[in-house]
Amino acid sequence: MSESYLSGLIERQAEAYGDRAALKYRDYKKGVWIPVSWNQFAGKVKRISRALIASGVGVQENIGVFSQNMPECLYTDFGAFAIRAVTVPLYATSSEAQVHYIVEDASIRFLFVGEQYQYDVAYRVQQLCKTLKQIIIFSPDVARSPEDMNSIYYTDFLKQGESVEHQAEAERRRSESGPADLANILYTSGTTGESKGVMLHHSCYEAAFRAHDIVLKTLSDRDVIMNFLPFTHVFERAWSYYCLTKGCLMCINLYPQDIQMTIKEVRPTAMCSVPRFWEKVYAGVHEKINEASGLKKSLMLDALKTGYEHNIRYLMNGQTPPPLLHMKYKFYERTIYNVLKKTIGIENGNFFPTAGAAVSKEIEEFVHSVGINMVVGYGLTETTATVSLGWLDDFRTGSVGKTIPGLELKFGENNEILLRGETVTKGYYKKENLTRSLISEDGWFHTGDAGYMKDGFLYLTDRIKDLFKTSNGKYIAPQAIETKLVVDRYIDQVSIIADQRKFVSALIVPEYRQVEKYAKDRHIAYTDRKDLLQKPEIIALFQMRIDTLQQEFAHYEQIKKFTLLPEPFSMEKGELTNTLKIKRQVLMQNYAEEIEKMYEE
């Protein structure tokens, strides 16, 4: 059996790159980025491997990592892989109930935690759990509970690995590792029901790396990567592992809300993100255009029009742009596009993978028009992330690209996308019935997503489970309407209501800052946010914008009534998953009164 690729990856890269920086993380006390060399990374991995053995961690035992993005997450992952242990990541924002469920379900004895919130939750869970033996704390700033005599800090845990007495055992385990070993169990947060543990074996990652080597030809050890999404998310996790195989420099963003600052400090060449990041950029640019006037405004509008003509109308369709248009495009590239990229912090951009939710046509066209190489893809936890992606010189707006090499795709009932290949999970942890219901005997995985192929490109239409049926028997795809609306600069979040109802309605969380500015500019007096959102002028503003945005939908798909909410949907209220997807059932309960009001005769 050949050694699993990830078990020795960091050591091999240290031999190749030595003292060159592998990682960087931000020291918030000093306000500087601290580099970690490949040699240091490999040293940490070795120590964590020996410390895990010293603690009694067995072959294929599950260990938990409950933290926001930190270098320690990667040290722990690769330290575990080297001794054939399995890592189970938990979202940094997970609730006590979610952590309790995962720790019990995966029989986790050792749980690594990031900062105070994660420690506090884990310590409370430990009192209720039969399995949890020890909590290991990454951040030295965490204050332990006075009664806690058992938890230890990461630095003290590593000391157990300083002695080489467990080195022989570590080497034996690594030599016995193989692609058939389980690498991770990733619990999907799910918009309905309890989370389920997706098993990803080393063979899944190895197949994903081989496929991406064929497609992502421009990624190299010269790339600087910003890690923005949580490592717990399969998209960031698989991408990060892949970037490490390429020798890229990984810059780890600790707090997602700091990305506007950290991206400017790092100025990365690549970063994977969800569409929400680009929606914010789009809204920001259009705000600037709306505030501008005269020549400046017309230049900005012309730059967007020129970029659209050059990159979408001509290049995307395999045609050469006319010389005059190309000259104009090059002028805007040196001026307006360059200023925009510098303002975001991505003027060194190579490419930017984007997935995790539907990307609206407007956003995609805008990003490509200004010369940002957004790579739109589609994937699931169960497929080790990527199923398909559109490449820089081979994409179609509105599509999620072409399937990666080695992955078979066909369509089942209701145009459901079925997949088969080495990157597909072998099943759900301890859930044989669920595994059998979603993976056929001959290996076809039922994604639950509907779509179609055109000219070799995959297009998603809707989530089969998410289809709403109105009381008139018409089917509505809520995500299509929601994706269209969140592009608007006055709209932050939206949830469509239609199932078993006679018409479509919506709960809308406005972009409060924009609405308040609109009121100020028009001298609309109000006492508080709730009062502001009930003003006839504000309701008329939203009605106008919604009517404009939904013109392309059939009459029965269009929003007839809406409610503006004074508070955003939140994880605290259970309304969003850890990956910020809307939990429709919870919204139905939390806003039952507001919803019923929209359907009163």
Q: Where are the alpha helices (DSSP H) in 246-360?
A: 259-266, 275-291, 294-307, 323-332, 338-344
Average pLDDT in the chain? 93
Q: What is the pLDDT of residue 393?
A: 78
DSSP single-letter state for residue 193: S
CATH of domain 5-178+216-266: 3.40.50.12780
Helix (H) or strand (E) holding 237: helix 234-245
Tokens 């990454």 map to which residue? Answer: 138
**What class is the 275-345+351-464 domain?**
alpha beta
What is the C-alpha to C-alpha distance for residues 101 and 194, in angstroms, rounded to an integer?
Answer: 9
Task: For the beta carbon of residue 563, count every other beta carbon within 10 angstroms.
Answer: 17
Report how far residue 601's alpha carbon sits from residue 591's, in angstroms, rounded to the nearest whole number: 18
Residue that the structure tokens 């019990």 belong to: 104
pLDDT at 472: 72
- Per-residue pLDDT at 201: 98
Q: How far apart are CA 481 and CA 463, in angstroms?
A: 13
Q: For residue range 139-150, what is the model confidence (pLDDT) as tens digits?
A: 999 999 999 999
| C-alpha closest to that of 406 among 164, 168, 208 | 208
| CATH 3.40.50.12780 in the chain, residue ranges | 5-178+216-266, 275-345+351-464
Residue type for 186, please?
Answer: L
Candidates 80, 75, 139, 135; CA nearest to 110 is: 135
Superfamily of domain 467-598: ANL, C-terminal domain (3.30.300.30)
Q: Amino acid letter at 566?
A: P
Q: Which residues of 251-267 are buried (b: 16+ CB within 10 A; e: fewer)?
A: bbbbebeebeebbebbb
For the stretch 303-358, pLDDT in tens is: 999 999 999 999 998 899 999 999 999 999 999 999 999 999 999 999 999 987 77
Question: Along the chain (601 residues), what's the average pLDDT of each consecutive run of 10 residues?
Answer: 90 98 96 97 97 97 98 98 98 88 96 98 94 97 96 97 92 96 89 78 98 93 96 95 98 93 97 88 88 91 96 92 96 94 94 86 92 93 96 86 96 94 97 93 93 95 76 78 89 91 93 94 94 95 93 86 94 83 88 93 73
CA distance 239 to 163: 33
β-pair type (134-137, 110-113): parallel
Spatial distance between the Cα atoms of 203 and 461, rounded to a whole number of angstroms: 30
**Contact criterion met (CB below 8 Å) for 228 and 272:** yes
Q: Identify whether the C-beta of residue 184 lies closer than 8 Å to the C-beta of residue 577.
A: no
pLDDT value for 190: 57
Phi, psi of 448 (to 5 degrees): 85, 0
Give CA separation, 337 vs 11, 303, 347, 450, 487, in Å. 41, 8, 9, 36, 20
Rounded to an integer, what distance in angstroms lies between the CA atom of residue 279 and that of residue 117? Answer: 29
Q: CA–CA separation, 224 vs 22, rounded Å?
A: 10
**β-pairing verdict for 62-66 and 110-113:** parallel
Which residue do the tokens 């309407």 mark?
Answer: 481
Q: What is the pLDDT of residue 543?
A: 95
Q: How far apart are CA 600 and CA 205, in angstroms?
A: 53
Residues 6+ apart with CB under 8 A from 137: 112, 113, 119, 144, 151, 152, 153, 154
Tell me which residue of 332, 235, 220, 315 sits closest to 269, measured CA to CA.
220
5 in Cβ contact with 17 (< 8 Å): no
* Burial of 472 (C-beta count, 10 Å sphere; 0-12/13-18/19+): exposed
